[in-house]
Amino acid sequence: MKTKFKISVTAFAIAISSIAFAQEKKKTYDYQRDFKHSISMCPVAVAFGIYSVNYEYLHHKKHGFVVRFDYEAIPKTYTDARIESSGYSFLLNYRYHFNKQMNSYFVGAYGRYRQFDGEGKINNTNFDFTMPDVSFGINAGKKWAWKSGFTMTFALGYGFSNEDWDSNPNTAEVNDMIRDFINDYDFIYPFYGEFSIVYSF
């Protein structure tokens, strides 16, 4: 499911980006306001139980500082233990805007802390676990900002992270079930993706 979600979001974002690029070629005069702030969310992700909010501050027209918060609820459909899990993450991201405005291609680096907590039952044994994760990486993308303040952002990134968990009880059977859960849900720890609809001001 997670892979299908990433493919769906990426395909949708590319399609929208192509339309926006065509409009950009035709109406370059629409991109003339100097914005310093933007607040955004990903509407497609909500259908998959993922809620994401971003805030970006543009300093001296080219240095973007981004704060992002995600919450994700995972359905109990990925293992025989019917693990119930949810997670949250905080992300800090720096972006260099090449056009010295919000409407620009950008490259940057990010750091993220993410934690998933879950519980399940196997062979009449209840268990719970915590999966903390710290990721660092680079990303690149494009932000389109119209004079009205309506903005779209598309970005992809990748890096490295620590992949680990703490389980209670810490048994081979429980850890095997958690490992199956991670594989079935397709956690890609260092992956960074964003397709968001934004209001800039």
For 100, which DSSP code? S
Burial class (CB in 10 A: 0-12, 13-18, 19+), 6: middle
Range of the domain at 156: 2-200
Contact 5, 185 (CB under 8 A): no
> What are the DSSP calls for 174-200, one per residue?
HHHHHHHHHHHHT--TT-EEEEEEEEE
Mean pLDDT to the nearest integer, 70-77: 87
Q: What is the percent of the chain where pLDDT is above 90?
A: 59
Mean pLDDT value across the chain: 85
Q: How many domains does the chain have?
A: 1
pLDDT value of residue 185: 79
Give the pLDDT band of residue 22 (cuts 50, 70, 90): very low
- How many percent of the chain have pLDDT more than 70? 81
CA distances, 155 to each of 54, 77, 142 (Å)? 13, 29, 6
Q: Which pLDDT belongs to residue 17? A: 47
Q: For residue 117, what pLDDT band results from cuts at 50, 70 and 90? A: very high
Q: What is the pLDDT of residue 118?
A: 93
Q: What DSSP character marks residue 94?
A: E
Cβ atoms within 10 Å, residue 193: 20
* CATH code for position 152: 2.40.160.20
Contact call for residues 107 and 84 (beta carbons, < 8 A): no
Q: What is the pLDDT of residues 120-149, one digit of tens each?
A: 988 888 999 999 999 999 999 999 999 999
Distance CA 144, CA 157 (A): 18
Q: Report if pTM > 0.75.
A: yes
